[in-house]
Amino acid sequence: MTNTYRRGELTIDQQLALATAARRLGEEFTGAFGAGTIERFLHASYEEFATRAAVANFLPLLAERFARQRLHALARVEGRSDGRPIVLFLCTHNAGRSQMALGWFRHLAGEHAIAWSGGAEFAGEINPAAVASMAERGIDISHEFPKPWTEEIVRAADVVVTMGCGDACPVYAGRRYLDWELDDPAGKGVGDVRPIRDEIERRVRALLADLGVSSV
């Protein structure tokens, strides 16, 4: 079941949750972005998920998390950078390959680099077999969620890694692109996902070495 987003049809609880999220983001980005920009990104992010999320109660939280990522990306595009490289992993549904790559990158790079992920046609949930296979290696991606890519997120990335999304993946001048040919874990069991997981680990380690980022 999908939800149709209209601001006037938000429940009281959803309105309060979004107001609280806007306040938190406002405090976090004080001096960087005004209230209008923050509310615009927050409500646009809410709208992205409202058409796909099965549980409406989680929508304000998802919107806040995605709006935060988008605002960090916008700050980077506008020249506010802490110097850490940013890698964006993209696949079709952001449910399997790109989520495993994100998990490996964050696990191996720690605070030395930043990674995001997205999908051209993002799914409603992460592939359970991908979650289970990563858990076998001690990496929890169950708290992640499929999400789209946006212009500022792509433009903020130093490296964009595509995985099977073909022409649907965005191309912007000045970005470094890598295309990883990997089997799609969709519809596969954990046993069949393990080789994909291990190949992604190998490629992420090689990417970190190429970026000069120490890995654990």
The catalytic residue positions are 91, 165, 169
Q: Which two tokens stand for residue 9?
A: 């049809």
2/8 Cα distance (integer angstroms): 17
105/201 Cα distance (integer angstroms): 8
Q: What residues contact residue 64 under an 8 Å CB cut-off, 6+ apart?
A: 21, 24, 25, 42, 45
197/140 Cα distance (integer angstroms): 13
Q: What residues contact residue 173 under an 8 Å CB cut-off, 6+ apart?
A: none
For 162, the 3-state DSSP assignment is: strand
